[in-house]
Amino acid sequence: MFEALGVRIPDVGQSVDESALVEGIARLETVKAAAAAHQARLTVALDAARREAESARGVPADKRGRGIGSEVALARRDSPVRGGRHLGFAKALVHEMPHTLAALECGALSEWKATILVRESACLDIEDRALLDFEMCSDRNRLDGMGDAALAAAAKAIAYRLDPHAVVDRAAKAPSERTVTIRPAPDTMTYVTALLPVAQGVSVFAALKREADAGCDGRSRGQVMADTLVERITGRPADQPVPVAVNVVISDQALFGVGNEVASIAGYGPVPSAVAQKWIADAVADPRSRATLRRLYAKPATGALVSLESRSRLFPKGLADFIELRDQRCRTPYCDAPIRHRDHAEPRHKGGRTTARNGLGLCEACNYVKEASGWKVETQLGENGRHRAEFTTPTGAHYRSTAPPVPGTPPARSSLIEARLGRMLADHFAA
């Protein structure tokens, strides 16, 4: 028997009948919900303890609690952005929505369904939020069989009835949050997501759909819509390369077809070398585009980036390029955000040097968090020569981040190539 939070679950085995397996699945879902509720209570307790301690030390009120969301994220092995959401979710449940918290504790709500209720009531004041909480979750039978969309719709209706002005004001503010984001997808694809006001979003989709309805040329409807989107934004046919600067990191062997290592796209991640070769070949062949090469120097056996050829006389610019190519994404553990700041691990006002070893590529939020009281970041070169950063939180917890290897290493190169790289490195540093 497997036991979690006092709930006994049957082991997986041929002697267990199907009904027992289904019952075990249901019990574990209840355990997950109860754990989420207790996690919320612990999160609020951490926030209260930290703020009380900072108040006793004389920290200004507007600076208390900085970095707690990031600490929560590290403890949950999650990104700092989600850590902030976890903290806000916990405080809303514990302080303002006791019925939702109780429903989560007993398993009547999942963590995601509780998140929906917190989200849809965020525009209300404390009194109205308490009323929505009571109406939605005081009778847990109401929650039976209710899906995510139905739950959100019911919460929206109650919120609008309680305070229509708050809901309208929230809707009026939402267009200011419009944005476009990108994230990797499997098989060398990517998701480009646009958050738009509903009228604009529906219009964009309708225009793409109308183009797809116009005729069939062997492409699927989805393919026509995707190609039309690319053509209207870039002004070029979808099957032609777009002349924009993209950093592609690829080994010399893979570039010339000798090796099969992966390449890396700055801001995206690894791609097959054959795909990168085609992109580079297309850029070279297209007279409207231009491909330039810049040499990176890495330790052949480990892939640790040690230097790069700079096209600028300004050392800070070259160093910033080096750090971004070395780190690839924000170096805070579990944070996949693009690099926005290249900053000192040990702050300059504490004697930190402007060097590659003391440099870190970070997103904007993580860079500000590490400056909060009690945070410390130390850097060193690991045994494999790769850059390593250790983050220490105000509670003394330690988290480690190691820079990824440069594409193409290992496997180890031939002795001839190693000797050539050694000479190039010596010439570079001598210069």
Binned at pLDDT 50, 70 and 90, residue 314 comes out as: very low
* Cα torsion 422, 424, 429, 431: sign: positive
Q: Which token pair is 213? A: 């309805």
**Shortest CA distance to 403 belongs to which of 302, 308, 296, 309?**
302
pLDDT above 80: residue 64: yes
pLDDT above 90: residue 79: yes
- How far apart CA 243 and CA 224 sit, in angstroms, is 22
Q: Calculate the CA 408 to chain-centre distance.
A: 25
- How far apart CA 404 and CA 336 sit, in angstroms, is 13
**Shortest CA distance to 260 belongs to which of 249, 242, 274?**
274
Give pTM, 2 decimals.
0.72
Q: Average pLDDT, whole number, for the chain?
A: 82
Residues in the chain: 431
Please compute Rg for the chain using Cα positions: 27
The average pLDDT across 9-14 equals 65
pLDDT above 80: residue 417: no
pLDDT above 90: residue 423: no
The average pLDDT across 34-61 equals 95
pLDDT of 414 reads: 44
**Shortest CA distance to 372 belongs to which of 54, 39, 32, 24?**
54
Residue 386 makes CB contacts below 8 A (sequence gap 6+) with: 302, 303, 304, 402, 403, 405
pLDDT > 70 fraction of the chain, expressed in percent and rounded? 77
- How far apart CA 190 and CA 195 sit, in angstroms, is 16
pLDDT > 90 fraction of the chain, expressed in percent and rounded? 46
Which one has a higher pLDDT value, 125 or 260? 125
pLDDT above 80: residue 361: yes
* Cα torsion 385, 390, 72, 375: sign: negative
pLDDT above 90: residue 292: no
pLDDT above 50: residue 257: yes
The average pLDDT across 345-358 equals 84
pLDDT of 310 reads: 44
Run of H or E including 6: none
The average pLDDT across 62-69 equals 92
The average pLDDT across 326-331 equals 89
* Highest-scoring range by mean pLDDT, 152-166, 197-211, 274-288, 348-362: 152-166
pLDDT of 186 reads: 82
Q: Calculate the CA 80 to chain-centre distance.
A: 8
- How far apart CA 296 and CA 95 sit, in angstroms, is 53
Q: Which of these ranges, 23-37, 141-155, 231-245, has the smallest mean pLDDT?
A: 231-245
The average pLDDT across 21-35 equals 90
Binned at pLDDT 50, 70 and 90, residue 213 comes out as: confident
The average pLDDT across 193-208 equals 91
How many angstroms separate the Cα of 199 from the Cα of each of 167, 170, 195?
18, 16, 12
The average pLDDT across 161-173 equals 90
**Shortest CA distance to 303 belongs to which of 346, 250, 242, 265?**
250
